[in-house]
């Protein structure tokens, strides 16, 4: 199987080289995803602050719930799944570190999401 399976050989009718294929298929989409994520998080935060400034506390709380809901569902699914936990059972150092790391990911989920994009570089 070729290393570049699934990478287009032609883009807009032009032949592309391997380096260009890697940039177009991996690097460029990852950079665009980071920019879109930054814009969305900034807009959500600005909207929440605007709701609180205008005195619409219910809308501010609902906006925060919708922002945090995916992170909370992900945290709950990881904690409930026995496949994500370390091999040993009981309360030991590995289990405690895993739990603390997942709580840290939940609290700072926007920063943790950028870690996903950093794996490309």
Ramachandran angles phi, psi of 11, nearest 5°:
-125, 120
Going by their DSSP bridges, the two strands 14-15 and 10-11 should be labelled as antiparallel
pLDDT at 55: 94
What is the full DSSP assignment across 61-107?
A: HHHHHHHHHHHHHHHHHHHH-TTTS-SS-SS-HHHHHHHHHHHHHHH
Using DSSP, state whether 15 is helix, strand or coil: strand
Question: pLDDT tens digits, residue range 46-82?
Answer: 999 999 999 999 999 999 898 888 888 888 888 888 7
């Amino acid at each position: 199987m070729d290393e570049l399976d699934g990478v287009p050989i032609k883009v807009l009718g032009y032949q592309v080289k391997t380096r260009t294929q890697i940039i177009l298929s991996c690097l460029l989409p990852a950079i665009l995803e980071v920019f879109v994520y930054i814009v969305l998080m900034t807009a959500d935060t600005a909207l929440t602050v605007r709701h609180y400034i205008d005195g619409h506390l219910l809308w501010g709380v609902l906006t925060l719930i919708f922002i945090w809901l995916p992170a909370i569902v992900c945290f709950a699914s990881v904690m409930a799944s026995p496949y994500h936990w370390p091999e040993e059972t009981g309360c030991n150092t590995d289990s405690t570190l895993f739990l603390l790391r997942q709580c840290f990911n939940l609290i700072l989920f926007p920063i943790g999401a950028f870690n996903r994009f950093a794996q490309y570089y």
